[in-house]
Amino acid sequence: MSYRICLVCMGNICRSPMAEIVLRKTLDDHGLGDLVTVDSAGTGGWHQGGPMDERAAATLSARGYDGSLHRARQFQADWYGQVDLVLAMDRENLRALRRLAPDGADVRLFRSFDPGAPEGAEVPDPYYGEQEGFAEVLRMVEAASVGLAEHLAKKLR
């Protein structure tokens, strides 16, 4: 049985799918790919079924990641019974997820696993900005993914 993680942003077309793809690769690199299942979703359903934002996909591709298969989904409250850890990209989504969460659900900010990030740090939404915002998101996601992989290596082994 694998440990299940769901990464969540607003629409599931920028931050959370970038984090999903990077975290999967990072977990594989740490020998945890067979122990952890990673997926992503959005708190809103506006983009359901659609692909990743082109800028997000291009940013990933430039660093050797492939986001071409991603399709946006909306987080559902009944997923809490199937997911061990829910990670929000920002405080707004964290609040929305906690409103849906049953007692005892593990819901946190994704950047809480980045040892170099200040407490309460968020992954900012690059959607309305320029391409460099996506590159910054990727840097944040990579740092948090390494921290999470190191945390899970201790927890799951």
Residue 117 to residue 83: CA distance in whole angstroms: 25
Look up residue 87 and give its DSSP letter. E
40 closest CA partner among 64, 16, 13, 57: 16
Question: What domain count does the chain have?
Answer: 1
The enclosing domain of 50 has a CATH number of 3.40.50.2300
| Other CB atoms within 10 Å distance of the CB of residue 104 | 6
Domain holding 118, by residue range, is: 3-156
| Per-residue pLDDT at 46 | 95
Question: Active-site residue among 39, 53, 90, 125?
Answer: 125
Residue 9 appears among annotated catalytic residues: yes
| Per-residue pLDDT at 157 | 83
Residue 125 appears among annotated catalytic residues: yes
CB 83 within 8 A of CB 63: no
Which residues of the chain fall below pLDDT 50? none
| Per-residue pLDDT at 126 | 98
Residue 32 to residue 121: CA distance in whole angstroms: 25
